[in-house]
Amino acid sequence: MAEKILMKGNEAIGEAAIHAGCQCFFGYPITPQTEVAAYMARKMPKIGRVFLQAESEVAAINMVYGAAGSGVRVLTSSSSPGISLKAEGISYIAGAELPCVIINIVRGGPGLGGIQPAQSDYLQATKGCGHGDYKMVVFAPASVQEMVDLVQEGFDVADMYRTPVMVMGDGMLGQMMEPVEFKERQGRQLPSKDWATTGLRGKREKHNVINSLFLKPEELEEHNRKLQAKYREIENNEVKYEMYNCEGEVDIVIAAYGITSRICKNAVKMLEKEGIKVGLIRPITLWPFPSKAFEEMCGKTKHGFISVELSEGQMIEDVALAVNGRAPIHFYGRSGGMVPTPAEIANKIKAIVGGAK
Amino acid sequence: MAEKILMKGNEAIGEAAIHAGCQCFFGYPITPQTEVAAYMARKMPKIGRVFLQAESEVAAINMVYGAAGSGVRVLTSSSSPGISLKAEGISYIAGAELPCVIINIVRGGPGLGGIQPAQSDYLQATKGCGHGDYKMVVFAPASVQEMVDLVQEGFDVADMYRTPVMVMGDGMLGQMMEPVEFKERQGRQLPSKDWATTGLRGKREKHNVINSLFLKPEELEEHNRKLQAKYREIENNEVKYEMYNCEGEVDIVIAAYGITSRICKNAVKMLEKEGIKVGLIRPITLWPFPSKAFEEMCGKTKHGFISVELSEGQMIEDVALAVNGRAPIHFYGRSGGMVPTPAEIANKIKAIVGGAK
Amino acid sequence: MAHQEIIFAGFGGQGILSMGKFLAYAGLDEGLNVSWFPSYGPEMRGGTSNCSVIIDEDPIGSPLVVDASTVVVMNRPSLDKFESHVVPGGLLIIDSDLVNREPERTDIDIIKIPAQTAAEEVGSKKIANMVLLGALVERTKIVPMEALLHALKAHGKEQFYELNKKALEKGAEYARK
Amino acid sequence: MAHQEIIFAGFGGQGILSMGKFLAYAGLDEGLNVSWFPSYGPEMRGGTSNCSVIIDEDPIGSPLVVDASTVVVMNRPSLDKFESHVVPGGLLIIDSDLVNREPERTDIDIIKIPAQTAAEEVGSKKIANMVLLGALVERTKIVPMEALLHALKAHGKEQFYELNKKALEKGAEYARK
Amino acid sequence: MAVIFERTKGLLDVPTHYCPGCTHGVIHRLVAESLEELGVLDRATGVAPVGCSVLAYDYFSCDMHEAAHGRAPAVATGIKRAIPDSIVFTYQGDGDLAAIGTAEIVHAAARGERITTIFVNNCIYGMTGGQMAPTTLPGQVTETSPYGRDVNTAGHPIRVAEMISTLDGAVYVERVSVDSVPNILKAKKAIKKAFEIQMQGLGFTLIEVLSTCPTNWGLAPVEALKWLRENMIPYYPLGVKKDATTGEVK
Amino acid sequence: MAVIFERTKGLLDVPTHYCPGCTHGVIHRLVAESLEELGVLDRATGVAPVGCSVLAYDYFSCDMHEAAHGRAPAVATGIKRAIPDSIVFTYQGDGDLAAIGTAEIVHAAARGERITTIFVNNCIYGMTGGQMAPTTLPGQVTETSPYGRDVNTAGHPIRVAEMISTLDGAVYVERVSVDSVPNILKAKKAIKKAFEIQMQGLGFTLIEVLSTCPTNWGLAPVEALKWLRENMIPYYPLGVKKDATTGEVK
Amino acid sequence: MAIAKFREERCKGCGLCLEVCPVKIIGFDEKLNAKGYHPAAITEENMKKCVGCASCARICPDLVITVEK
Amino acid sequence: MAIAKFREERCKGCGLCLEVCPVKIIGFDEKLNAKGYHPAAITEENMKKCVGCASCARICPDLVITVEK
Ligand SMILES: Cc1ncc(C[n+]2csc(CCOP(=O)(O)OP(=O)(O)O)c2C)c(N)n1
Ligand SMILES: Cc1ncc(C[n+]2csc(CCOP(=O)(O)OP(=O)(O)O)c2C)c(N)n1
Ligand code: SF4
Ligand code: SF4
Ligand code: SF4
Ligand code: SF4
Ligand code: SF4
Ligand code: SF4
Ligand SMILES: [Mg+2]
Ligand SMILES: [Mg+2]
G57 in contact with ligand 6, CB cutoff 6 A:
no
Give the ligand with the smallest distance to the CA of H40: 8
B113 interfacial to chain A (CB closer than 8 Å): yes
DSSP F19-45: PTT-THHHHHHHHHHHHHHTT-GGGEE
Give the ligand with the smallest distance to the CA of E95: 1
Fold for D4-99+107-176, please state it. Answer: Pyruvate-ferredoxin Oxidoreductase; domain 3 (3.40.920)
* Residue E7, domain member (yes or no): no
Cα separation, D135 vs D142, in Å, equals 11
Q: Do A24 and F81 touch (CB under 8 A)?
A: yes
Number of other CB atoms surrounding residue D30 within 10 Å: 19
Q: Do F215 and C46 touch (CB under 8 A)?
A: no
What residues contact residue D131 under an 8 Å CB cut-off, 6+ apart? Answer: D113, D115, D118, D119, D122, D167, D168, D170, D171, D174
Which of B30, B57, B77, B107 maximizes ligand 2 atoms within 8 Å of its Cβ, making it the mutation to test the pocket?
B30
pLDDT at F16 over 50: yes
**The predicted structure's pLDDT at residue A355:** 58
Cα separation, A148 vs E61, in Å, equals 48
**HEC profile for D82-132?**
HHHHEEEEEEEEEECCCCCCCCCCCCCEEEEECHHHHHHHHCCHHHHHHHH
- Structure confidence by residue, pLDDT tens digits, F20-47: 999 999 999 999 999 999 999 999 999 9
A121 alpha-carbon distance from chain centroid: 10
pLDDT at A333 over 60: yes
**The predicted structure's pLDDT at residue E250:** 63
State which ligand 4 atom lies nearest to the alpha carbon of F217: 2
**Which residues 9-38 of F have a C-beta within 8 angstroms of E?**
none
DSSP B132: S
What residues contact residue A194 under an 8 Å CB cut-off, 6+ apart? Answer: none
The percent of residues in chain A predicted with pLDDT above 70, rounded, is: 99
Give me the sheet containing B100-106, strands edge to edge. Answer: B50-53, B24-27, B74-78, B100-106, B164-170, B137-139, B285-287
**DSSP strand pairing (E170-177 vs E204-210):** parallel
A137 to A104, A130, A230, B297, F55: CA distances (angstroms): 13, 14, 11, 35, 30
E242 alpha-carbon distance from chain centroid: 16
pLDDT at A18 over 80: yes
pLDDT at D66 over 70: yes
Q: How far is F69 from chain E (nearest CA, A)?
A: 14
Radius of gyration of chain E (CA): 17
Q: How confident is the model at residue F1 (pLDDT cuts 50, 70, 90)?
A: confident
- Residue B53, classed as helix, strand or coil, is strand
| Cα atoms in the Cβ-side hemisphere of radius 13 Å centred on E52 | 34
> Contacts of residue H36 in chain D, CB cutoff 8 Å?
11, 47, 75-77
- Structure confidence by residue, pLDDT tens digits, B66-78: 999 999 999 999 9
**Which residues 83-122 of A have a C-beta within 8 angstroms of D?**
115-116
CA of F212 to the centre of ligand 10 (A): 9
Cα separation, H37 vs H29, in Å, equals 9
- Residue B315, classed as helix, strand or coil, is helix
The total number of structural domains in chain E stands at 1
Q: Do C36 and B179 touch (CB under 8 A)?
A: no
Decide: B308 and B264 in contact? Cβ < 8 Å: yes
G8 interfacial to chain F (CB closer than 8 Å): no
Amino acid in the structure at residue B350: K
**The predicted structure's pLDDT at residue F250:** 62
pLDDT at D69 over 80: yes
Comparing D68 with B185, the larger pLDDT belongs to D68
CA of A7 to the centre of ligand 3 (A): 27
In the structure, ligand 10 is a single-atom ion and the residues with CB under 5 Å from it are F 93-94, 122, 126
State which ligand 8 atom lies nearest to the alpha carbon of H65: 7
Cα separation, H21 vs H5, in Å, equals 14
Same fold, A5-185+212-237 and A242-353: yes
Q: How far is D164 from chain A (nearest CA, A)?
A: 20
CA of G67 to the centre of ligand 5 (A): 8
The correct answer on CATH 3.40.50.300 for the domain covering B5-185+212-237 is no
CA of B32 to the centre of ligand 10 (A): 18
Q: Do E221 and H55 touch (CB under 8 A)?
A: no
H32 in contact with ligand 7, CB cutoff 6 A:
no
Tell me the pLDDT of chain A averaged across its residues. 97
CA of H47 to the centre of ligand 7 (A): 9
Give me the sheet containing B329-333, strands edge to edge. Answer: B241-244, B278-283, B252-255, B305-309, B329-333
Q: What is the mean pLDDT of each run of 10 residues along chain H (69 residues)?
A: 95 97 97 89 97 98 97
Angle of helix D115-122 relative to helix D128-140, nearest 10 degrees?
110
> Contacts of residue E82 in chain B, CB cutoff 8 Å?
23-24, 50, 66-67, 70-72, 74
- Structure confidence by residue, pLDDT tens digits, A250-308: 999 999 999 999 999 999 999 999 999 999 999 999 999 999 999 999 999 999 999 99
Mutant choice from F22, F143, F215 vs C, greatest count of C C-beta within 10 A: F215
**The predicted structure's pLDDT at residue F25:** 98
> Contacts of residue E107 in chain B, CB cutoff 8 Å?
54-55, 59
C105 to A201, C85, C87, C92: CA distances (angstroms): 52, 10, 10, 9
pLDDT at F225 over 60: yes
**Is the predicted ipTM greater than 0.95, yes or no?**
yes
Cα separation, A35 vs A105, in Å, equals 11
CA dihedral sign of residues F156, F162, F166, F171: positive
Ligand 8 atom 8: the closest Cα is on which residue? H11
**The predicted structure's pLDDT at residue F249:** 65
pLDDT at B357 over 50: no
G47 in contact with ligand 5, CB cutoff 6 A:
no
**The predicted structure's pLDDT at residue A357:** 47
Q: How confident is the model at residue A44 (pLDDT cuts 50, 70, 90)?
A: very high
pLDDT at B256 over 60: yes
**The predicted structure's pLDDT at residue A2:** 61
E236-246 b/e (C-beta count within 10 Å ≥ 16 → b): bebebbbbbee
Q: How far is F204 from chain C (nearest CA, A)?
A: 32
CA of A169 to the centre of ligand 9 (A): 27
Task: Spell out, as residue ranges, where chain C has pLDDT lower than 50.
Answer: 1
| Cα atoms in the Cβ-side hemisphere of radius 13 Å centred on F104 | 32
**The predicted structure's pLDDT at residue C13:** 85
E132 in contact with ligand 3, CB cutoff 6 A:
no
Cα separation, C148 vs C146, in Å, equals 5
B132 interfacial to chain E (CB closer than 8 Å): no
pLDDT at D42 over 70: no
Q: How far is G30 from chain C (nearest CA, A)?
A: 14
Fold for B242-353, please state it. Answer: Rossmann fold (3.40.50)
- Structure confidence by residue, pLDDT tens digits, A169-179: 999 999 999 99
Q: Where are the alpha helices (DSSP H) in chain F?
A: 24-37, 72-82, 94-95, 102-110, 151-154, 160-165, 181-199, 214-217, 221-227, 233-235
**The predicted structure's pLDDT at residue A1:** 44
Residues whose beta carbon lies within 6 Å of some atom of ligand 8 = H 6, 11-17, 39-40, 60, 62, 64-65
Chains E and D touch (3+ CB pairs under 8 A): yes
E142 in contact with ligand 1, CB cutoff 6 A:
no
Nearest to B116 by CA among D55, C40, A21: C40
Mean per-residue pLDDT for B119-144? 97
Q: Do B128 and A129 touch (CB under 8 A)?
A: yes
Domain coordinates in residue numbering, chain C: 4-99+107-176
Facing residues of B147 across strands?
A: none
Mutant choice from E65, E144, E151 vs A, greatest count of A C-beta within 10 A: E144
Cα separation, B74 vs B151, in Å, equals 11
Cα separation, A67 vs F82, in Å, equals 5
Facing residues of F60 across strands?
A: F11
> Contacts of residue D47 in chain H, CB cutoff 8 Å?
36
**The predicted structure's pLDDT at residue B128:** 83
Q: How confident is the model at residue B1 (pLDDT cuts 50, 70, 90)?
A: very low
Which of H8, H10, H17, H19 maximizes ligand 8 atoms within 8 Å of its Cβ, making it the mutation to test the pocket?
H17
Which residue does chain A place closest to E69, by CA atoms?
A112
- Chains touching E (at least 3 CB pairs under 8 A) are A, B, D, F, H
CA of F90 to the centre of ligand 10 (A): 14
Q: The domain G3-68 is classified under which CATH number: 3.30.70.20, 3.30.390.50, 3.40.50.1820, 3.30.420.40?
A: 3.30.70.20
C43 interfacial to chain G (CB closer than 8 Å): no
Cα separation, D109 vs D90, in Å, equals 6
Which residue does chain B place closest to F151, by CA atoms?
B52
Chains B and H touch (3+ CB pairs under 8 A): no
A140-154 b/e (C-beta count within 10 Å ≥ 16 → b): bbbbbbbbbbbbbbb
F213 interfacial to chain C (CB closer than 8 Å): no
Q: Do A221 and B91 touch (CB under 8 A)?
A: no
**The predicted structure's pLDDT at residue B186:** 86
Q: Do G16 and F222 touch (CB under 8 A)?
A: yes
**The predicted structure's pLDDT at residue B355:** 57
Cα separation, C93 vs C172, in Å, equals 12
End-to-end CA distance of chain A: 45
Task: Spell out, as residue ranges, where chain E has pLDDT lower than 70.
Answer: 247-250
**The predicted structure's pLDDT at residue B2:** 61
CA of F125 to the centre of ligand 10 (A): 4
- Structure confidence by residue, pLDDT tens digits, A82-133: 999 999 999 999 999 999 999 999 999 999 999 999 999 999 999 989 999 9
Q: Tell me, what CATH number does F46's domain have?
A: 3.40.50.970
